[in-house]
Chain A
Amino acid sequence: MLGVIAYFQTDAANYINLVLEHVTISILVLLISMVIAIPLGIICSRSEILQNISEHLFSFLRIIPSLAVLIICIPFIGTGWKPAVIALTLLAIPPILLNTIQAFRTLPEPILEAATAMGMGTTYKLFNVKLPLAFPLIYTGIRTATVEVIASATLAAYIGAGGLGSLIFTGLGLMRVDLLYIGGISVAILSLGTGFLMNVFYKYKTRYLQIK
């Protein structure tokens, strides 16, 4: 316990730095994943074959441990934050992609027909009707991905990408339990806290689903 207090007294600036690194890498990964997975999901939802391929491929990807991907990346990209971002992106894409496909497959037909009949063009309909209606499922995928990425970003420190994982690996190296606690608990709080905040936002955005 003393160790924990002492750590915050002397290394507060370092700690904040690690948190920022952790958050930055997570946000970067999630942005890249969304930019890839949402359009890809929309495209895949239009064809039975593409949908099957992507579902199998990404369900398979899901079971490969991120650490393995990290290590496979090293020979090609070296160490640092780049392979970490790649490995974490591969982790984050499946939940977003699969939920996007699911969302676009289950859009209510009469409502789309009403939109078409009102004279909406394809793009206008996508942004004003389809995406808002698909939002709950897509967002749920993003939330799953976020929680997973924040937790797994810990591993990224293993190949020198920084973040709260560094504390844990340092703690392991120096046999300092206090560092392990600080690192582990911080990641847990960050991950669960973000999940919680995202839930609040979800409830707010989907008020129309909850009123009955």
Chain B
Amino acid sequence: MTGGPLGKGENMNAVEFEHVKKQFPRMGYMALDDVNVQINEGEFVTILGSSGCGKTTFIKMINRLYKPDFGHIRLFGKDIQNSNPVLLRRKIGYVIQQVGLFPHMTVAENIATIPRILKWDKTKIENGIEEMLQLVSLDPKEFRDRYPAQLSGGQQQRVGLARALVANPPIMLLDEPFGAIDAINRENLQNEIKRIHAQSRKTYIFVTHDIREALKLGTKVIIMNKGHIIQYASPKEIINNPCDNFVIDLLKTLNIQNNYVIDGAGI
């Protein structure tokens, strides 16, 4: 492949942040404080960090829902400040933290939203809906004509995932997509999304509060604290060489979880 899917450009970093700063009004600290990061194409990056540390802000910068106060963001080498935001967003899948399904549309219509914007033909849309529902383990016959109000929280999240994935965009942003899903289904969906990513070789950026999930899914993990990126490395590197006390503390919670699981299994 020559050039990135979002345009030409020599640089094959799918996403690049350069000295990005963002502060919201009436906020004592910066939501993002001089963030520098380069994400290769095809990477599955998980972002881990405590509540309010800037994970969602980081994600929303990429599809231009937020504008940096300072610095540059490049996708496939192109500064996004110079691109048409509407067209840019059509190439970026986004699963928002609050799910955000359209309540007046059925499950099928929700999933068809982007295909309709992209003016796919009817059969292609129908096939896409079918395929996506199967992918997220919702029986199309049973679910396609339901409204979001008729779904559980976890089912809504899965539809949100299906809606973002349907057009197979070169960049996927997932903001805690499995937050409301029970352990068993979560495990299944984690495996699913790992498989989808491996097949597509697209760039995924995945926010989670669950350190096990972050280490399991990520080819790289970003650890954030108070608007800073503390460490950006492979899961192995993070476990072997935590760079900072914050990371060590995070890993301790993992050990506690693991011991608990092992103890529990022993009973």
Binding site for B on A (CB under 8 A): 110-111, 113-121, 124, 129, 132-133, 135, 207-209, 211-212
A102 nearest CB across to chain B (Å): 18
Total residue contacts A-B, CB cutoff 8 A: 62
Q: What is the 8 Å Cβ interface bit string for chain B, positions 107-118, against chain A (1 contact, 0 not)?
A: 000000110010
> B149–A208 contact, CB under 8 A?
yes
> B149–A212 contact, CB under 8 A?
yes
> B147–A211 contact, CB under 8 A?
yes
A133 partner residues in chain B, CB cutoff 8 A:
102-104
Q: Which of A118, A120, A121, A135 contacts B94 (CB 8 A)?
A: A118
> A211–B149 contact, CB under 8 A?
yes
Q: Which of A111, A116, A120 contacts B65 (CB 8 A)?
A: A116
B19 in the interface (beta carbon within 8 A): no
A129 partner residues in chain B, CB cutoff 8 A:
102
A129 nearest CB across to chain B (Å): 6
A116 to B94 Cα, complex, angstroms: 10
Would you list 14 pairs from A and B whose C-beta atoms are within 8 A, ordered by A residue?
A: A113-B65, A113-B100, A114-B101, A116-B65, A117-B96, A118-B114, A118-B117, A119-B87, A120-B86, A120-B117, A132-B102, A133-B104, A207-B147, A208-B104
Which B101-159 residues have C-beta < 8 A from chain A? Answer: 101-104, 113-114, 117, 147-150
Q: Which of A110, A135, A211 contacts B96 (CB 8 A)?
A: A110
The answer to whether residues A113 and B96 also contact, given A119-B87, A207-B147, A212-B149 and a CB cut-off of 8 A, is yes
> A209–B102 contact, CB under 8 A?
no
A21 nearest CB across to chain B (Å): 37
A124 to B117 Cα, complex, angstroms: 9
B241 in the interface (beta carbon within 8 A): no
A212 to B148 Cα, complex, angstroms: 10
Q: Which of B86, B90, B117, B150 contacts A211 (CB 8 A)?
A: B150
Tell me the dominant secondary structure on chain A's binding face.
Answer: helix
Task: Return the chain A residue nearest B88 by Cβ.
Answer: A119
A143 to B250 Cα, complex, angstroms: 57
A209 partner residues in chain B, CB cutoff 8 A:
103, 149
Task: Return the chain B residue nearest A132 by Cβ.
Answer: B104
B63 partner residues in chain A, CB cutoff 8 A:
117
B174 nearest CB across to chain A (Å): 12
The answer to whether residues A119 and B89 also contact, given A133-B103, A133-B104 and a CB cut-off of 8 A, is yes
Task: Return the chain A residue nearest B117 by Cβ.
Answer: A119
> A119–B104 contact, CB under 8 A?
no
Closest 8 CB pairs of A and B: A114-B100, A119-B90, A110-B98, A119-B89, A208-B147, A117-B94, A110-B100, A132-B104
A208 nearest CB across to chain B (Å): 4
Q: Which of B87, B89, B147, B148 contacts A116 (CB 8 A)?
A: B89
B87 partner residues in chain A, CB cutoff 8 A:
119
Task: Return the chain A residue nearest B94 by Cβ.
Answer: A117
> B102–A111 contact, CB under 8 A?
yes
Q: Which of A117, A207, A211 contacts B89 (CB 8 A)?
A: A117
A110 to B96 Cα, complex, angstroms: 8
A119 to B63 Cα, complex, angstroms: 9
19 additional A-B pairs beyond A110-B99, A110-B100, A209-B149, beta carbons within 8 Å, are A110-B96, A111-B100, A114-B101, A114-B102, A117-B65, A117-B92, A117-B96, A118-B113, A119-B87, A119-B91, A120-B86, A132-B102, A133-B102, A133-B103, A133-B104, A208-B148, A209-B103, A211-B147, A211-B149
A212 to B103 Cα, complex, angstroms: 12
B165 nearest CB across to chain A (Å): 12
A78 to B96 Cα, complex, angstroms: 59
B89 partner residues in chain A, CB cutoff 8 A:
116-119
A120 partner residues in chain B, CB cutoff 8 A:
86, 117
B104 nearest CB across to chain A (Å): 5
Residue picked from B88, B98, B114, most chain A C-beta under 10 Å = B98
B223 nearest CB across to chain A (Å): 25
Task: Return the chain A residue nearest B147 by Cβ.
Answer: A208
B96 partner residues in chain A, CB cutoff 8 A:
110, 113-114, 117
B149 partner residues in chain A, CB cutoff 8 A:
208-209, 211-212
> A114–B94 contact, CB under 8 A?
yes
B86 partner residues in chain A, CB cutoff 8 A:
119-121
A212 partner residues in chain B, CB cutoff 8 A:
149
A120 to B113 Cα, complex, angstroms: 9
Which B174-191 residues have C-beta < 8 A from chain A? Answer: none
